[in-house]
A and B are shown apart, each in its own frame.
Chain A
Amino acid sequence: MSGSKAVRPYGDKKGDGAVQLSFTLPLPKSAVATEAAKRYVAKMGIREPYVTLAEAIAPDFTYFVIYGRATHDIDPSGITAEEAPAAALGREEIDAEIARRFGRRLVVLGCALESDAHTVGLDAIFNMKGFAGDYGLERYHGFDARNLGAQVAVTEVVRQVRETKADAVLVSATVTQNEIHIRHLTDLVDMLEAERLRDRVVLIAGGARVDHALAKELGYDAGFGPGTTASRVAAFLLDELTRRHGAAAARP
């Protein structure tokens, strides 16, 4: 290992580089296929490949599970990674702070765009009941939370932003073929900008394959990945809207 701070995957002793891989090769099961799989993982920098499963899952496809030892290491000391910031506040504190700082309910719209019919993530953040014991935005007094549901046209979201004077829009994006979700996400930003509404709303993207960096790249204010609870989103909204509305809103 180069340098004292660099690390490798840990199996049962420091520095052993133990990894497990599973993948399918488009080859009929044979000794050649297994050897090909071993050489393939060797190219990935894995030593001592141990094929624990080679299964013909279809006439021309073999599924492998392989254990081995990674030769690469990584030094974490120079790495920075951004997470959507959020203070640790509970629902009641957030409600109280919204009342104190804004003196009104904040309008939050939620939707999945165009062809996206998935609502599980959206509902987890919005529904009264919430997710993993954390109540959804509809439960907060401080938010006028409106879940527009799935397959909402970009033009409809823009119309709703204007009509409801929304403070924030949460877009749930589920990965589909051809990266179509990316296009819909950027379409919304473009249309809000064209309608001069972009600066009036906090725009948040969420979903299984969304992270903060991707969301920022697409022109959103924040991105939340899997496992995000409503209270984390709520705390972020409070911070961000306070920041935007300046010290006036934040003054005790």
Chain B
Amino acid sequence: MPAKLGLSAEQIERCRSLARRVADGVARETEQYTTVATERTVLRLLGVDGVDSDDVPIPNRVVGALQAAGRLPRGAAVWMGSALAEGARDASEAAALLSDSARAAALSEHPRWREAVAPLVERSLARIRNNRAERERRMAAHPAEELPLLYAIVATGNIHEDVVQADAAARAGAQCVAVIRSTAQSLLDHVPFGATTAGFGGTFATQENFRLMRAALDAIEPEIGRYVRLVNYCSGLCMPEIAAMGALERLDMMLNDALYGIIFRDINPLRTLIDQNFSRRINAVAGVVINTGEDNYLTTADAVEQAPAVLASQFINERLARDAGLEDWQIGLGHAFEIDPELEDGLLYEIAQAEAAREIFPNAPLKYMPPTKHMTGNVFRGYQQNALFALTSVATGQSIHLLGMLTEALHTPFLHDRWLAIEQAKTIRRNARHLGEEMTFRPDGRIVRRAREVLAGAEQILGRVAEHGLFAALADGVFADTRRRIDGGRGYDGVVRRDPAYANPFMEAWSQAPAGVGA
């Protein structure tokens, strides 16, 4: 779509340069560390899985023992390789040995650890590669899809009930199905195991739950003639582990945003930015589309005031994502339709912000979130707000449209709430198909002026963040008026300074190959 807002290309370029300075600063601060979650991810990718008799995941056991033995700074892969070279027959035997900190401490580094671990590394890389190829093959077998993609949420707490709801949503027209996680999960420093049937406000993300939902969506693909994208959340304290599980079970989209965890869940900034980088590497090779969480700034603060912060964060997230190997088509930057419906010309501001995001990030699969803050329980008004949201989404060429529920703020969606949302979005998408192509904006009008104002505001914020660095900006409360210190928050005790000879064979494989090649 041609640019309609007349935004300054030089100003956008300046914002990208500032974002690069921010991202480079993050890389400098984080490169000397690994984390417990990152090392657990390495173990999972090497085939370590399952739980012990106390329901503690084996990757947690191994990392705990390695940490107690002072061996984690070298990287978990070194010790897995050494255990294998010393005679462990497979990953689980090696993990059993390393779960005992005395035995882990007694194990010396084997000179041929790399060769010993190489087949396990290659097995995972091949599985991820095959999953990506299979997704591409399945998608290519169907006609091109209508945009924006309609994204539905299921959240019953019981994976088997989720399957029923997802099946209904997909048949009705949902193109992406997200299984909302149990609300406390982002703060768990482990990933639960197996199929789960009870959760709070959502369903636990486990590898078995991923597999069950993937199988269910694959099963209806021939009947509905579409590939349904499966979405989950790799954010919180287990960011890279869940990315790995998603890559192994062919998930297609992942919510993935360190800033969200820092600001809204008080997760330690250093920890989560390290974890984010590894999770994004995994998503990059797996061909996963990430969704960032800027929409959240708008739910907690004023949507008009916060628009520049959203755009600034999008620039930073884009740079951090590209640096982790993600290509533009994989970077689903988030934003939302959250302006108070009582505000005069609020719709014009929404159009300005959505169109600006589209023009500034032309190749990004933008993720557009529905109204939540000003949903009141008046379901008729809510349905009307959702219609304005859908119209804005279609007219400004958004890519991923999270369906607004008329009962938002009341209860988890009923089956017919979701159906009404899908029908509404489908009708508007069809009825206004080429509205965007027909629209131009008055060069001196309200919409153009608003878009320029937001871009100028974003440049100011980025300037401030670039000058002091992201960590200082977080400590200073630049985002969502929330202050987060580099040594505060949850999970800081899981940050480990690397040994100079630290090794992570997966990171090495993915840093060498350009994204998408050999992946």
Contact = CB atoms under 8 A, between A and B. Distances in A.
Interface of A: 22-24, 55, 57-59, 61, 63, 114-120, 123, 127, 129, 132, 149-151, 174-178, 180, 208-209, 226-227
Looking at chain B's contact residues, the main secondary structure is loop
A177 B415 contact: no
B264 to A, nearest CB: 8
15 contacts: A24-B416, A55-B419, A58-B168, A58-B171, A63-B419, A116-B200, A117-B184, A118-B183, A120-B409, A129-B305, A151-B187, A176-B201, A177-B200, A177-B412, A180-B200
B301 interface: yes
Given A22-B416, A57-B416, A63-B419, A129 B168 contact: no
A148 to B, nearest CB: 10
Contacts of A178: 157, 198, 200
A123 B300 contact: yes
A49 B184 CA distance: 45
A55 B199 CA distance: 31
Given A120-B300, A208-B377, A177 B416 contact: no
A177 B419 contact: no
A226 B299 contact: no
Contacts of A114: 184
Contact of B266 (A24, A149, A226): A149
Contacts of B372: 120
Contacts of A24: 414-416
A57 B182 contact: no
B68 interface: no
B172 A58 contact: yes
A101 to B, nearest CB: 30
A174 B305 CA distance: 26
A179 to B, nearest CB: 11
B396 to A, nearest CB: 25
Contacts of A226: 376-377, 409
Looking at chain A's contact residues, the main secondary structure is loop
A61 B299 contact: no
Interface string B176-207: 00000011101100000000001111000000
Contacts of B416: 22-24, 57, 63
Nearest to A65: B416
B192 to A, nearest CB: 14
9 nearest CB pairs, A to B: A58-B168, A57-B419, A115-B200, A117-B183, A115-B184, A176-B201, A63-B416, A177-B157, A115-B183
B410 to A, nearest CB: 6
Nearest to B373: A120
In the complex, which of the residues B266, B302, B373, B416 has the most CB atoms of chain A within 10 Å of its own CB atom? B416
Question: Interface size class for chain B?
Answer: 35 or more
Interface in B197-244: 198-201
A63 B414 CA distance: 11
A41 to B, nearest CB: 16
Contact of A176 (B167, B168, B200): B200
B411 interface: yes
Contacts of B452: none
Contact of A58 (B182, B265, B415): B415
Contacts of B330: none
Contacts of B302: 129
A118 B408 CA distance: 12
Contacts of B157: 177-178
A135 to B, nearest CB: 12
Nearest to B200: A115
B156 interface: yes
Given A120-B372, A208-B410, 11 more contacts: A58-B168, A58-B171, A58-B419, A63-B415, A114-B184, A129-B305, A151-B184, A177-B201, A177-B412, A209-B411, A226-B376
Contacts of A22: 416
Nearest to A26: B415
Nearest to B372: A120
B183 A151 contact: yes
A176 B416 CA distance: 19
A177 B376 contact: no
A57 B183 contact: no
Interface in B139-189: 156-157, 167-168, 171-172, 182-184, 186-187
Nearest to A208: B409
B415 A151 contact: no
Interface in B46-78: none
Contact of A120 (B200, B299, B410, B419): B299
Contacts of B172: 57-58
A61 B186 CA distance: 34
In the complex, which of the residues B183, B266, B372 has the most CB atoms of chain A within 10 Å of its own CB atom? B183
Contacts of B167: 58
Given A127-B301, A151-B184, A151-B265, A57 B415 contact: yes
Contacts of B187: 151
Contacts of A57: 168, 172, 415-416, 419
Interface string B413-450: 01110010000000000000000000000000000000
B183 A116 contact: yes
Nearest to A55: B419
Contacts of A115: 182-184, 200-201
Contacts of A59: 168, 171
A58 B420 CA distance: 12
Contacts of B300: 119-120, 123, 127
